[in-house]
């Protein structure tokens, strides 16, 4: 936007902390809204799209925050707090989706601090958070995943005043109710995108019952007949119940479920069954049958954890959950072993009822999480980033920051941004939208694929030093 932003400070006249926010457009200052009660604060984005924020003290004299997103000197994970202006209120058990076609994130519904259903939906894109007034009535415990082949989010079930059996689609034009027979009404089911077969897979869930109270982290055993263990597939038009050969996971809800495209396996971990509060078993589905895997060191038993495939490290990642209390640990699954991951910097407060997503609005590599239950409904957002001796690739800038001689969509590391429907090593539809096909599709932009979409207009703050541009943040001092 070509603006300098001033947040807070210390008023010379009274020695008090200022709370306003001002912008300088090159000619004049303008007050644009209330800020935070901090002084000695600053924030900037460097040319590599890394955010740096340093705040001072609040009006009570307590230190606030210091975030530094610069790369470290070793291959160590770091959970990084993301900051913003208007954003969703704290919630847990909500729907969270990342739309890889349009580079945006959806946060919808869930429970608030009073354990009441929140009807609000918010969308985050490159311009920040904005309220979506057209979302369906809120619910908690709905199963949701993004379908990258059709460019739409798919939402099923959940709980409002009782279990729901509704299917909804969320795409570029908004929300669409689907009139299709499918799984029975349930909440806390698990879903994942099966890339090899182009379908959404849904497993299990729980019949909460009309008028029951949905308490996602209570520790009371549930009747076995409330739990479900069926497996369904959604092909974009209809639901089909699958009948895997042989035994499979016990009926459960609130497990972690994610698909590993490199190994073509659906991975399930933990959850809550009728007889046990939490489980620690690992299962894989190969498209035909389930196989239980017995790794030497599984993560501790838990339910309501976040599970996602990390396309940059090509591992399944497990975060958080609940057992005797909220958990904040990280684990990685490579198909043979679970390995604990210990972030070296600031990490979120332990939490459960979380959704772990691959992809960020800025196009940075990493897994993100918004909200969850952390002793209450959380409203913070975090990204699991991986620091390395060499700068990581920033796919939206076109710069070669990891030193491999390839930049932007020419680098295979950038496939989640540039070719999100085709993971490396997979046989993919040659007619899929992607960079280099001569058409600027919804998957692409001028930042990710200039060959298809044309050059981006010169703009200060876009992490690209364009010809004739004078912008320290983009071009350096």
pLDDT at 311: 83
State what percent of residues in the chain have pLDDT above 70: 71
pLDDT at 67: 43
Cα separation of 268 and 295, whole Å? 13
Categorize the per-residue pLDDT at 240 as very low, low, confident or very high, splitting at 50, 70 and 90: very high
Q: What is the CA radius of gyration of the chain?
A: 23
DSSP state of 453: H
pLDDT at 135: 93
Q: List % helix, strand, coil for the chain (3-state, nearest 5).
A: 5, 40, 55
Distance of CA 30 to the CA centre of its chain: 35
**Does pTM surpass 0.85?**
no
What is the torsion angle, in degrees rounded to the nearest 10, for the CA atoms of residue 337, residue 270, residue 328 and residue 192? 90
pLDDT at 44: 54
Q: Where do runs of H (alpha helix) occur along 130-222? A: none
Domain edges within the chain: 4-70, 78-387
Q: Using CB atoms within 10 A of its CB, is residue 291 exposed (0-12), middle (13-18) or buried (19+)?
A: middle
Across residues 324-342, what is the average pLDDT? 92
Contacts of residue 278, defined as CB under 8 A and 6 or more positions apart, other chains included, come to 270, 271, 272, 301, 302, 303, 321, 322, 323
Q: Which CATH architecture has domain 78-387?
A: 6 Propeller (2.120)
In tens, the pLDDT along 39-73 reads: 445 555 543 344 445 555 544 554 444 343 333 32
Cα separation of 188 and 206, whole Å? 6
User: Across-strand partners of 6?
Assistant: 22
Across residues 298-302, what is the average pLDDT? 95
pLDDT at 64: 45
Three-class secondary structure of residue 2 per DSSP: coil
Write out the H or E segment, with its range, that includes residue 474.
helix 472-475
Categorize the per-residue pLDDT at 13 as very low, low, confident or very high, splitting at 50, 70 and 90: low
Cα separation of 299 and 308, whole Å? 15
């Amino acid at each position: 936007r070509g603006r300098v932003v001033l947040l807070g400070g210390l008023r010379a006249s009274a020695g008090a902390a200022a709370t306003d926010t001002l912008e300088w457009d090159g000619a004049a200052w303008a007050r644009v809204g209330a800020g935070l009660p901090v002084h000695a604060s600053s924030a900037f984005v460097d040319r590599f799209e890394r955010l740096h924020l340093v705040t001072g003290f609040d009006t009570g004299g307590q230190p606030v925050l210091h975030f530094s997103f610069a790369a470290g000197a070793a291959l160590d994970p770091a959970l990084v707090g993301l900051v913003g202006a208007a954003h969703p209120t704290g919630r847990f058990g909500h729907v969270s989706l990342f739309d890889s076609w349009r580079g945006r994130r959806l946060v919808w519904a869930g429970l608030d601090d009073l354990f009441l259903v929140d009807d609000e939906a918010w969308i985050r894109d490159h311009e920040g958070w904005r309220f979506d007034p057209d979302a369906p009535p809120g619910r908690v415990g709905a199963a949701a995943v993004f379908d990258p082949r059709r460019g739409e989010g798919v939402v099923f079930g959940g709980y409002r005043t009782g279990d729901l059996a509704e299917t909804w689609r969320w795409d570029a034009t908004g929300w669409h109710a689907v009139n299709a027979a499918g799984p029975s009404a349930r909440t806390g089911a698990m879903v994942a995108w099966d890339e090899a077969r182009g379908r959404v897979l849904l497993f299990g869930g729980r019949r909460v019952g009309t008028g029951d109270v949905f308490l996602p982290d209570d520790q009371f055993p549930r009747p076995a007949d409330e739990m479900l263990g069926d497996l369904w597939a959604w092909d974009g038009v209809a639901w089909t119940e699958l009948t895997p050969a042989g035994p499979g996971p016990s009926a459960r809800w609130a497990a972690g479920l994610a698909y590993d495209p490199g190994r073509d396996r659906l991975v399930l971990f933990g959850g809550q069954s009728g007889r046990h509060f939490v489980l620690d078993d690992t299962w894989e589905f190969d498209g035909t049958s389930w196989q239980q895997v017995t790794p030497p060191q599984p993560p501790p038993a838990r339910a309501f954890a976040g599970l996602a495939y990390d396309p940059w490290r090509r591992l399944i990642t497990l975060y958080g959950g609940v057992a005797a209390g909220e958990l904040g640990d990280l684990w990685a699954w490579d198909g043979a072993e679970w390995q604990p991951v210990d972030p070296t910097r600031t990490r979120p407060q332990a939490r459960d009822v979380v959704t772990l997503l691959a992809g960020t609005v800025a196009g940075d590599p990493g897994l993100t999480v918004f909200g969850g239950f952390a002793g209450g409904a959380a409203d913070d957002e975090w990204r699991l980033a991986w620091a390395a001796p060499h700068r990581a690739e920033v796919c939206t800038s076109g710069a070669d920051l990891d030193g491999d001689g390839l930049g932007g969509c020419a680098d295979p590391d950038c496939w989640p941004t540039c070719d999100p429907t085709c993971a490396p090593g997979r046989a993919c539809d040659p007619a899929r939208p992607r960079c280099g096909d001569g058409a600027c599709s919804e998957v692409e932009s001028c930042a990710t694929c200039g060959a298809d979409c044309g050059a981006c207009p010169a703009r200060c703050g876009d992490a690209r030093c364009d010809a004739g541009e004078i912008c320290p943040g983009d071009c350096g001092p």
